[in-house]
Structure 1
Amino acid sequence: MGAYSTASLLRDTVRISPADARRRVADANALFGSTTLTGQPIEPQLPVAAQALADGVISRDHVQIVRTTIDTLPAEHHAEVEQLLVEEATRFDPVKLGKLATRTRAHLQPEHVVLEEQQARKRMEFSMIEDIDGTIIVRGRLSPECAEVLKAALSPLAKPAGKDDDRSATRRWADALVELAHRVLNSDTLPQDGGRRPHLAITISYEQLRDQIGLGHGDFGAMITPQTIRQIACDAGITPIVLNSEGQPLDVGREQRTVTATIRAALIARDKGCSFPGCDRPPEWQYR
């Protein structure tokens, strides 16, 4: 078939990714051995894991963790660590086994784990990709310690709001991320952007807002309905701008806050929270 390697042949035959093909070949060689170019047999590296896999008591994900752990350790530790991890693999899922493997490597080769931690930071990434329906798909990768920071910040905000809170866990975490951003923007702790404190900026014409037709737009391209903008404007700094027929600004007024501290207290006493139809946000989330 013209394949230049076993992984290449597997990739083309089974139609899997190159990375997955390489992992499968590496697992197979470690479990069952291989041969050199001259035909000399190479003994399997993981005979205990091979038997456990054949017996159906561990999965391929378990095998990958055992193999990658063994690969980082000196040969004198291979048999002992393989036996330990395979025994634990019959009791724990791959995620928990991976944590046990990390602790094992940290005990036997602490300098290697430190290096992995540094490499994990270099691999961090975060992206927000706009989908065809206008929603944003959030993707990323964080090092373990950075993920702990984010989880610590989000966890208090992701708890159910009460016994009637029927949001899914994933929805609550998404809401928590947005709420965290709101709180940071309102905290006056971010560096200035363009000479101003970072803020959510939405532009819409007075007529559209009044008649609730059309769409406003955010600085980053989001299209937002007048109904949502009216909800946001319950407590916002509003800057009137006069535009000509070509959309060029002719006059920019001063920003005006719509809610003073005194009015805020009165609104909380009156409404006990957000008064927008269908909104159940508590008072501390409103009128900021």
Structure 2
Amino acid sequence: MSSLGALDQATAVAERAAELAGEDWDVLAGPDAVAGVEAITAARSFLDAALLRGIARVEATDAVRGLGWATVKDFLTHLTGGHKGSGGGLVRAVEQLRDLPEVQAALETGRVTLPQARAIASKVHTLPRVPQFRTAVAGAMLDLVDTHGHDASGLQTAFSDVVRDLDPDSAIVDAEKEKAKAERAAHHARHLSFAEDGHGGVRLKGYGTVEDAERIKATLHPLAAPVTTEPGACGGVSRRPGEAMFDESGVATSAPCLTPECGHDGRDPRQAGARLWDALVDACDRLAATDELPRDHGSKPRVVVLIDQDSLKQQVIDAGLARNGHTPTGARFSASAVRRMACDAEIIPSVLGAEGQVLDVGRAQRLVTATIWMALVVRDRHCAFPGCTRMPLACDAHHVVHWADGGATSLDNLVMLCRHHHVLVHQTPWAVHIDPDARQPVWTPPPRHALDSLRGRATYRPARPRAA
């Protein structure tokens, strides 16, 4: 079937389903209603199989990123209107069934329903990674559907019996469990410490899992490779004897010895352990030179005290900066004026209204100040894009109306976005505005390319986490 044919058929099925939903079912006799429900259930199973095929293709093409979605699971959760995480369940089903072609075929031929297929796949994927064993267990569970009509709950209950029948001595399962237990123990015992020896040196001591060690070695070994030079070519400047130098393109150059009349023969004079140490320091230097390390918008860790505007106003009055709720000129003070006077009085608040919403933290420049950033953290808590919970350290402050277009650097024109979603918002049809009453971001997703006439959504307001 061509891609155009699949799309045409999917659209036609949706239109026919919409017609079916509007039929007058009250005129059907009881037996006919039963037959109708059975037919719809069978059709739904085939549609579920087609849905998974479509999801697999969406993942392969990464098409949803062009619409502003960070992941396919977020897109599916929004599209289906399901509970948080429901989209991830569909993505996992695609991945798990990919490794179980017999179960996938059973779903596509109507032998099992999607709940049954997911019950089998999710249970089988808890088994050791022994392909023949997994295939045998999946086949036995499909037989239970054929012979006993097990539903999803029945399959989950029968799983343990099936495993025991196929692995009566637990030789396969226990071997994997012991290995996993040892790995967990190593993970919980992980540590790294630095101890000065009192003679200008430091000893490192650590412990971790084999998996972590492989990741560390994969990074350090390329940096720890011996660096050779022409004999006698020990020129250059380095912080440590034998340290590799790199040109602007990242290519290793000469390794200076800094030893007078060393008679260098071109070989790297460092031992393997010295090269690994230098590689560790080099890796840290490279990381520090990137934008990956946490920098909380120039703001050091601090305690943010939340205070309502009336209480703050009283503190300003008590400090002698205003009288009777008015400025010295007689004007009533705004949240902005209160904030400025409080700052002069060394009261550093995030100004909150009666219902706890942030009112104002000032507007002095295009770039977000540390104070404004703190207020954004108080309001948004994490990346405000639908479904994303990246922490503030990984986020930027995005102007809803760009500064160049007259937008203000104020909370009513800012939203906290992680780097990925900050770029996507600038490049995709996603739209956001700050609700004037709730003072919270409200999102409008891009239009869907199909079925818009059948069902649509207007806006998406991310759920706010409870305060700790």
TM (norm. structure 2) is 0.20
Q: Select the structure of larger CA radius of gyration.
A: 2
> Of the two structures, which has the highest relative contact order with CA contacts closer than 8 Å and spacing of 6 or more?
2
TM (norm. structure 1) is 0.32
